[in-house]
Amino acid sequence: MRFVLKALQEDFSKTLNIRTSPGTLDHIVIATKDGKFPLNQLGQVSLKSPQLIVVNMSSFPEATAAAIKAIRESGMNLNPEADGPIIRVPVPKVTREHRESLATVAKQLTNKAKDSLRKVRAGAVSQTKKAKSTASEDTIRLIEKQIQQMADDVTAEMDKLLAAKTKELLG
């Protein structure tokens, strides 16, 4: 259950940022003929200004087209431009609509995490029920209650994270 919460926190920090940093594009994976690689392994990512990220693909110029496609399809509202092996990624000014769409994405990510949490809880409960032969029914009920309490605690923590992220995004 903690892994689900940690994954949600990582998703929030990677994909739902208003401020631009060189690490903004690190999670983007590029599919090449040799396999899939993170953008920062194939190209040198640098921040020229808060409105411009530059990716130098001179080490792997053959992956430039795939990198542009991956950046475009990242869901980050970016429109990269190629200049030989150099990719310029203008970062749009953060508008109210963009902030609201990020808040919507945060809610979707939280709902997906809650679904994953439900699956983890269901798996733990079913494993507990399999142990009926080695434990009393009271013990099994107690363990099931504890599992439910843990799931409720993690869900409450997810809701707190969502509320904090929404407040940060909407200002």
**What are the residue ranges spanned by the domains of the chain?**
20-90, 96-170
Domain 96-170 indexed as CATH 1.10.132.20: yes
91-116 burial, b if ≥16 CB within 10 A, otherwise e?
A: beebeeeebeebbebbeebbeebbeb
What would the CATH number be for the domain defined by 20-90?
Answer: 3.30.1360.40
pLDDT at 61: 83
C-alpha distances in angstroms, 164 versus 13, 91, 112, 156?
12, 24, 18, 12
Residue where the block lists tokens 């699956």: 119
Tell me if 46 sits within 8 A of 89, measured CB to CB.
no
pLDDT at 168: 84
pLDDT at 121: 94
pLDDT at 118: 94
Tokens found for residue 80: 């990269």
Q: Where are the alpha helices (DSSP H) in 57-136?
A: 64-72, 96-130
Residue ranges, the chain, pLDDT below 50: none
pLDDT at 19: 67
